[in-house]
Structure 1
Amino acid sequence: MSQNPSSPTSAPPTPPSAPAGSTSEDRSARVAVTVFPVLILAAAALGFFVPAAGQAISGYTNLFLGIIMFAMGLTLTIPDFSLVLKRPLPVLIGVLAQYVVMPLVGFAVAWVLQLPPELAAGVILVGCAPGGTSSNVINYLSKADTALSVTMTSISTLIAPILTPVLTLWLAGAYMPLDAGEMALSIVKMVLIPVIAGLVIRLVLSRLVDRILPALPWVSVAGISLVVIAVVSGSADQIVSAGALVLLAVVLHNAFGYLLGYWFARVLRQPIRTARTTSIEVGMQNSGLAATLAAQYFSPAAALPGAVFSIWHNLSGAVLAMYYRRTAQRQDADPR
């Protein structure tokens, strides 16, 4: 759920070729990211106080996520993947950090906080998910490398059917049993096929898709909101008993993702702008996917960290964007 929206739990990426603030898609994406946490909080409240609403749609979360990922595919173009050939090292570093830093941080947070098995599995699964597409908009607002962010998100999403179930089985298997093969197949159905379908349609019907691009962030917002309603409605008791603990786990997971993602790139001698891009890309997860998979393969309680992450990483991402943008402006004014 980003996607964000994150994750493909979040708003679709801003086209890297677009000048800052030049398109209605840019403006729509920025508004969606700003309003998204409020809408997700409202969705969580609805699921908590009116659980019947969430239970009525709980069987459709896979469909909602597929729609989100299809919308993401519609925002992609072939040039978004060209950086893999033009700048392979920063792309490799970002994707490697995505699937090394966040899974291990999720495992460490679960161990340090001594989380119950269901919550521990949910936190680890969030860490094993690919990057969320709201990271692309946060990078744009941060004056970081948006084109690199789009490529990182795209590549991490395309390899998720392999790495997400393998890493989850390795790190969370001790907490909860998992059929990694079935999870991989689900990710192919919910993520890979819709993304590729959206990309193909963008190639074939580019003029038509260009007209609807400004509406796509709101498709993602609506989709992840519905996922959160369904997840929260099935976890009301766990929210009451362990809500503060889950929030603490999510805050730590997200914060260390930003920090370690930045230094992962810097230690490998990447420039500051690339390190900031990696920081945001690593810290912001497709938590909508994580919540959906957790509910399907673990339990409703295991989906709770993904739902909370969907809210938190957009709030923290907006704050981080303001910080990065201000420091970038100071560096532009005084390169020393």
Structure 2
Amino acid sequence: MNFLNTISKLAGKYFAVLVIVVAAIAFFSPDQFSWLGAYVSILLGIVMFGMGLTLKAVDFKLILTKPVPVLIGVAAQFIIMPLAAFSIAYLLDLPPAVAAGLVLLGSVPGGTSSNVMVYLAKGDVALSIAMTSFSTLLAPVATPFILLMLAGQWMPVDPAAMFLSIFQVIIVPIVLGLLIKRMFPTAVEKSIDVVPLISVTAIIIIVAAVVSGNVESIASSGLLVFASVVIHNAFGVLLGYLAALAMRLDETKRRAISLEVGMQNSGLGVSLATVHFEPLAALPSAAAAVWHNITGSLLASFWSKRKVGKEEGIDSEIQPTGKAQ
């Protein structure tokens, strides 16, 4: 088990590098990975099951005891990112499928890897986890509604079918994880450090499946897709920080909200795009799986070297889950 724990920590630490390497292999040898496309939703369900295993009651306590920072962060997540994606799609005149895919990326909840980045950045980890949990629970309703409003002009959106998909691949696995943890707490506690390895593996396979199935599209429009994801991520990180600053939240909370708003659940974006849109729409989320972890790591490293004064927002007893997006 110690060996697996070590491998799990290394996988989480070098997640972005692993994604880049596997994506490159899948691009040049697509036939080896194309068959994985049928398992994207199942793989995402595994990631969400892992999230359920790691959730604690204290993760939701902050929503009730100090709701203002959580609500500000989640509102920014579901307002700033979709509108930024919509604006970028228009300004760059993206192809319809890519435009819809970028709006989809902006409409999904926060990614769980942001919790690790916030911890490394000396941000408010409790707030980060609460935002991730709350936005994830809101996703079955919020994501289809936002897509219907903003992406319907580019691709047909079936909000009822999308609600069902999100419920199946997110809510059901999370609830199962919570039930398993409640029924077998000792066994779960002993094996919890391996969860990041499972999550990282699942996301890497998802990216490989998407890349291998869209080699021609990536070759023709990959640079444009990547540019849109980079700009979108920069808007999220910057505007998330400014929103927290405008509400006079302390520095630890500004860092948490900035990273939470800027980093999305790209695995969910890939899954929904694959099922409900055409394959090209999955490219923004696939690119985000790489880029968000790179910028998150760089920003966390930058902030970690800067003191935040009285770090009253950090709950030292709450540790990040360490899972990938």
- 1-side partners of 2:131 and 2:9: how far apart? 20
Instruction: Report the Cα offset of residue 233 of structure 1.
Output: 1.2
Indicate whether 1:49 and 2:25 are aligned.
no
Q: Map of 1:296-335 to 2, 5 A cutoff?
A: 296-328=275-307, 331=309
Q: What per-residue deviation string (whole Å, max 9, x for no partner) do you get for residues 283-320 of structure 1?
A: 00000100111111111111011000000000000000
- Structure 1 window deviating more from structure 2 (50-59 vs 218-227): it is 50-59
- 2-side partners of 1:288 and 1:39: how far apart? 15
TM-score normalized by the length of structure 1: 0.88
Q: Map of 1:250-289 to 2, 5 A cutoff?
A: 250-289=229-268
Tell me the residue number matched to 2:65: 86
Indicate whether 1:36 and 2:39 are aligned.
no
Look up the equivalent residue of 2:132 and give its one-letter code.
T
Instruction: Report the Cα offset of residue 328 of structure 1.
Output: 2.4
Structure 1 contact 30–137 (Cα < 8 Å) conserved: no
Q: Percent identity?
A: 46
- 1-side partners of 2:196 and 2:124: how far apart? 20
- 1-side partners of 2:140 and 2:121: how far apart? 30
Tell me the residue number matched to 2:75: 96
Look up the equivalent residue of 1:178 and give its one-letter code.
V
Structure 2 contact 12–197 (Cα < 8 Å) conserved: no
Structure 2 contact 98–284 (Cα < 8 Å) conserved: yes
**Alignment match of 1:189 (pick from 162, 168, 173):** 168
Tell me the residue number matched to 1:151: 130
Tell me the residue number matched to 2:192: 213
- 1-side partners of 2:38 and 2:121: how far apart? 37
Q: CA RMSD in A?
A: 1.9
**Alignment match of 2:156 (pick from 152, 168, 177):** 177
Indicate whether 1:164 and 2:139 are aligned.
no
2:123 aligned counterpart, secondary structure: coil
Unaligned residue ranges in structure 2 (runs of 5+): 312-325
Look up the equivalent residue of 2:246 and give its one-letter code.
V
Structure 1 contact 33–137 (Cα < 8 Å) conserved: no
TM-score normalized by the length of structure 2: 0.91
Tell me the residue number matched to 1:249: 228
Structure 1 contact 25–213 (Cα < 8 Å) conserved: no
| Inter-CA distance 159–104: structure 2 relative to 1 (3 Å threshold) | same
- Structure 1 window deviating more from structure 2 (151-160 vs 49-58): it is 49-58
Instruction: Report the Cα offset of residue 26 of structure 1.
Output: 10
| Inter-CA distance 98–30: structure 2 relative to 1 (3 Å threshold) | farther
Look up the equivalent residue of 2:21 and give its one-letter code.
A
Look up the equivalent residue of 2:75 and give its one-letter code.
L
Tell me the residue number matched to 1:222: 201
Q: What per-residue deviation string (whole Å, max 9, x for no partner) do you get for residues 195-250 of structure 1?
A: 11112222222211111111111111110111111111111111111111111101
- 2-side partners of 1:26 and 1:272: how far apart? 32
2:22 aligned counterpart, secondary structure: helix
Instruction: Report the Cα offset of residue 30 of structure 1.
Output: 5.7
Instruction: Report the Cα offset of residue 25 of structure 1.
Output: 11
Look up the equivalent residue of 1:190 and give its one-letter code.
V
Instruction: Report the Cα offset of residue 139 of structure 1.
Output: 0.5
- 2-side partners of 1:27 and 1:83: how far apart? 31
1:82 aligned counterpart, secondary structure: helix
Instruction: Report the Cα offset of residue 109 of structure 1.
Output: 1.1
- 2-side partners of 1:80 and 1:200: how far apart? 16
Q: What per-residue deviation string (whole Å, max 9, x for no partner) do you get for residues 128-170 of structure 1?
A: 0000000000001011011111111001001100001110111
